[in-house]
Structure 1
Amino acid sequence: MSVRMAPPLPLIFLLMIHGVSSADWGVSYSPSHICALKDSSVIMSCTYKYPTGYQIKNMFWTKGPLQEGVEPPDLSEDPEYSQRLQYLGDKQQNCTIRLSHVTLKDSHKYYFRFTTDKDKWIGKPGVTFTVTDLQVESPERVTEGDSVRLTCKSSCTLTDRATFIWYRNSQLVTERRDRNNELLLQSVRREDAGRYSCAVHGHNHTSPAVELNVMYPPKSVSVSISPSGEIVSGDSVTLICSSDSNPPAEISWFKGGTFVGSGRIYSISKISSDDSGEYKCRSRNQHGEKYSDAVTLNVMYPPRSVSVLINGSGEIVSGDSVTLICSSDSNPPALNFSWFKENESSAVGSGQSFSALQSGRFYCQAHNQHGSQRSDAVTVTVKDAPKSVSVSISPSGEIVSGDSVTLICSSDSNPPALNFSWFKGGTFVGSGRIYKISKISSDDSGEYKCRSINEHGEKYSDAVTLNVMYPPRNVSVLINGSGEIVSGDSVTLICSSDSNPPALNFSWFKENENSAVGSGQSFSALQSGRFYCQAHNQHGSQRSDAVTVTVKERLVILYMSIGVVCGAAVVLTMLLVWRSRIKKRNDTLESQVKKMSLVMMNQSRPHPDRSQASDVESNEPVYENITMNRSRPHHTRRQASDVELTEPVYENLTYVMKEP
């Protein structure tokens, strides 16, 4: 539709003068209101007319607002339009144009103006041109299951019939819903959530995306473990709860049925076997809650709490055995066990059980691929008779007379032997585990052994020898002969002694002389004198008593021998005479004594039974035990052959009267 501008009064007057009416002028626009989509191309259809006989000099499009008395600008000369504006009409009736890539700033009133050789004309009221963009209208928040309507809106109604298309997350939504510019989502699902935008089919312009926020309770709740694979005691482990929910859910963690923490991530630093178990998370928002499936934390750890169980009392009799069983707590279970005797480095057995045959303290060591641990030791007691009985001597080494010596009896038995006896040879000498000899002497030398006794039996030790060392003693000199020698000969003196070890060093001395006169066990004496020897060993020395050696000259010996023989003959003769006289006197004395006895017997009281050979009753006493003391004759030496003999004198004659 074209609107002719009312010419000013001078122009009307001019037209009236020339016979031209306003009906001969006009501009028509179809349509007069255009709503175009941003970035689209718009055709403004236009026709015009002018009086016959007029010639078109110039034509162009301009935009408002128009100012009175000011020539409007030609859009084809405007840099903002020059590249986008295309004139499609002619210079007779068609004034159509195309405007490409329209923008929101292009929204104005547009007019067509032309000039003839006689007059000018502008077509009012022009074309009202509005450029619009697209906006998606949707509810801010919806809940899963609701019906949702999304509307693609523009600021004006598009002039051209438009086919709307929809995008979700930049992906075309192929199905068409309800009205042309609306998208209806019935029973909305969480999968329908996303960024929605709309566009007009055939146009590049797309509306800004609008987020459709679909609320729904937690779904697909699961737990993942990091690191995956085997978990060993001491590791750091993280549990992650994954949950699909809107709005995001609050996460809680449970071990078994016990709450242990919150948050999407549950971390365990330095995990231990106590942390083993089943874990699950709970995802909860205002629309509901859901638990994950349980996951199991199986914490591997080396053996611990290793202990030994004694199958029985732990006391056995020699020859029997006791079974020890090793138990441990480990993951995986220990399959490798070693047995040790305390204070010994080498294993004495393997396997979970062990048969102990001897006394001692035993422990086990349990192993798995993550480590090992040993148990405390347990005591196995084997009851047996004494064995390994032995004697030790203190001090060891050489024993010297006067030392203090201790014999100690050692015995291996269970129960320990409390009864110890000591024997020298086969003779009992003492009791107790320790036998002590103070100031030992050579008499203590010999073989000793001890006997150990407990309730299960007895055993003797091997014999040990006490060899007591002592210095020489009982040193004496033996004279090989009479000790009297003739001048020029010699007599052998032999030194003997008792010592341990035997004396090997002998020294000979002459009495009253300081220097030794000889050495060795024997000594040849050549001169008169008193000689002694001194015996030595490493423990001391002792000297003998002195012996006399007499050396005589040969002539003196001859004279002495003759004198001795003569003297012996004289003495023998005198003895024979003296003996004869003595015998005669003794006979006389005995006769007198007998007579005196008879007299005394007759004087004593009568004997009732006496009537013997002479039938004479005698009352004389009877004397017995008559003792005669004969004085020794005195010899007076005058000369070699003169011997004065005297009669024997009897003195102290005593008699005892015996009662009848």
Structure 2
Amino acid sequence: MSVRMAPRLPLIFLLMIHGVSGADWCVSYRHSHICALKNSSVIMSCTYTYPTGYKIMKVFWTKTNVKNADNEFPDLSEDPEYSQRLQYQGDEQQNCTIRLSHVTQKDEHMYYFRFITDKPDGKWIGEPGVNLTVTDLQVEAPERVTEGHNVRLTCKSSCTLTDRATFIWYRNSQPLTERRDGNNQLLLQSVRREDAGRYSCALHGHSYISPDAPLSVTYPPKNVSVFITGSGEIVEGDSVTLSCSSDSNPPALNFSWFKENQSSAVGSGQSFSALQSGRFYCEAHNQHGSQRSDAVTVTEHCRSSWHEVFGITVECGASLMLITIIIIIILFIIKKRRSVKSEDLTMTQMAVCM
């Protein structure tokens, strides 16, 4: 029994089969996923290979792996949304890199490189392609922090940026030089009132700046002071208004008034009506603490025309009693002098009679 051998295929046919195999048709992307900052430029780097004997006729990028009605993949360079922003930086040999500028969330797609050769079987689309994600920046920070505490602000993106980035921080649109921690974080130690403001972040070399995030610094009352309406002098029976002011966050809502050398409060509220002379001060309070002001002097004068007797100014609270005592003393002195003169006259008369 004879064994029939299968006919041997010509060597040239074997080479042709090898030539169209996937091993010789290849597109390699540097990054399969790219996270880019909004309004930045994106570089999609890639290389491609094809069998010897083929000649490149057309190269382009597309954002779909599904053919259109013309049985072809759409060319991004012919798309009005991309034509002014897309720049092919490769060649027709092995480099297929492109640059896409001013990216936005609308550009989030899968992108594929496509090349066509001079032979009917010489068309190739590089899969799985490049997945582009576009992110903005957001500042994550507490709404408020207490003075003296530490606070950490974070510049966040929705995906991890592909390109290594250096973050820049701003307060009230002015760049900051404070210590950064972990590159995308800003550490404020022993926060002061001056650290309050609107914070934003950006990437070095990029124009996009994140929206502002407010940071409020809370602290107890400081710079508490008393203002007097008028001269600080009152007439007996009237009053003078004292007002208390302070610098605090949140604003002080509780105010207490004291008279020096008295332990208990003599009034409350941001304004106080003093009805008598003395030295008064106020204390301002919020949930973080309190502070007292320096004392101010209120002077009271008498309404009566008798408030000055023989050049002596009389304080109003004791004016009537003091005036009475002064009159009694004057009358006593006058009476005493009259008594002395009468005695002297009597002695003189007795001397004459003798």
TM-score by length of 2: 0.70
**Deviations along 1:567-610, whole A, 9 cap, x unmatched?**
xxxxxxxxxxxxxxxxxxxxxxxxxxxxxxxxxxxxxxxxxxxx
Give the match for residue 196 of structure 1.
Answer: 199
CA distance in 2, matches of 1:41, 1:144: 41
Matched, 1:305 2:309: no
CA distance in 2, matches of 1:130, 1:26: 24
**Superposed displacement of residue 96, structure 1:** 1.1
**Superposed displacement of residue 154, structure 1:** 1.4
1:260 counterpart (257, 264, 267) = 267
| AA at the equivalent of 2:267 | V
| AA at the equivalent of 2:73 | P
CA distance in 2, matches of 1:304, 1:193: 52
SS of the residue 2:142 aligns to: coil
Report which of the two has the higher share of strand: 1
Give yes or no for contact 2:178–2:188 (8 Å, CA) kept in 1: no
Distance 1:19 1:216, change over 3 A: closer
Give the match for residue 55 of structure 1.
Answer: 55
Q: CA RMSD in A?
A: 3.5
| AA at the equivalent of 2:206 | H
CA distance in 2, matches of 1:222, 1:49: 81
| AA at the equivalent of 1:293 | D
Distance 1:260 1:107, change over 3 A: same
| AA at the equivalent of 1:116 | T
Distance 1:144 1:19, change over 3 A: closer
Give yes or no for contact 1:45–1:96 (8 Å, CA) kept in 2: yes
**Deviations along 1:351-372, whole A, 9 cap, x unmatched?**
xxxxxxxxxxxxxxxxxxxxxx
| AA at the equivalent of 2:21 | S
**Superposed displacement of residue 298, structure 1:** 5.2
1:205 counterpart (208, 230, 254) = 208
**Superposed displacement of residue 159, structure 1:** 1.5
**Superposed displacement of residue 284, structure 1:** 1.0
**Superposed displacement of residue 124, structure 1:** 0.9
Give the match for residue 138 of structure 1.
Answer: 141
**Deviations along 1:33-61, whole A, 9 cap, x unmatched?**
22222222121112222233333332222
Q: Percent identity?
A: 66
Matched, 1:105 2:112: no
**Deviations along 1:193-219, whole A, 9 cap, x unmatched?**
332222222222222222233332222
Give the match for residue 26 of structure 1.
Answer: 26
Distance 1:195 1:239, change over 3 A: farther
Give the match for residue 90 of structure 2.
Answer: 89
**Superposed displacement of residue 152, structure 1:** 1.8
Give the match for residue 42 of structure 2.
Answer: 42
Give the match for residue 150 of structure 2.
Answer: 147
Q: Select the structure of larger CA radius of gyration.
A: 1
CA distance in 1, matches of 2:73, 2:233: 85
Give yes or no for contact 1:241–1:251 (8 Å, CA) kept in 2: no
CA distance in 1, matches of 2:311, 2:233: 26
Report which of the two has the higher share of helix: 2
CA distance in 2, matches of 1:77, 1:237: 83
SS of the residue 2:81 aligns to: helix
Give the match for residue 363 of structure 1.
Answer: none
Q: Report the more deviating stretch, 143-152 or 231-240.
A: 231-240
Give yes or no for contact 2:257–2:272 (8 Å, CA) kept in 1: no
**Superposed displacement of residue 125, structure 1:** 0.8
**Superposed displacement of residue 143, structure 1:** 2.4
CA distance in 2, matches of 1:249, 1:305: 41
2:161 counterpart (154, 158, 169) = 158
SS of the residue 1:165 aligns to: strand
Distance 1:155 1:20, change over 3 A: same
| AA at the equivalent of 2:252 | A
1:218 counterpart (208, 221, 234) = 221
SS of the residue 1:22 aligns to: coil
| AA at the equivalent of 2:55 | Q
For structure 2, the residue ranges without an aligned partner over 5 or more in a row are 1-14, 317-354
Pairs aligned (count): 293
CA distance in 2, matches of 1:174, 1:232: 55
Give the match for residue 646 of structure 1.
Answer: none
CA distance in 2, matches of 1:129, 1:276: 78
**Deviations along 1:204-258, whole A, 9 cap, x unmatched?**
222222223333222222233456x687879997654332222222231425254
1:248 counterpart (241, 248, 251) = 251
CA distance in 1, matches of 2:171, 2:21: 61
Distance 1:19 1:274, change over 3 A: closer
| AA at the equivalent of 1:165 | I
SS of the residue 1:244 aligns to: strand
- Structure of greater relative contact order (alpha carbons < 8 Å, 6+ residues apart): 2
Within 5 A, what are the aligned runs for 1:573-584? Answer: none
Give yes or no for contact 1:218–1:288 (8 Å, CA) kept in 2: yes
CA distance in 1, matches of 2:103, 2:246: 47
| AA at the equivalent of 1:189 | R
For structure 1, the residue ranges without an aligned partner over 5 or more in a row are 1-14, 310-323, 332-660
Give yes or no for contact 1:307–1:326 (8 Å, CA) kept in 2: no
**Superposed displacement of residue 88, structure 1:** 1.2
Give the match for residue 76 of structure 1.
Answer: 77
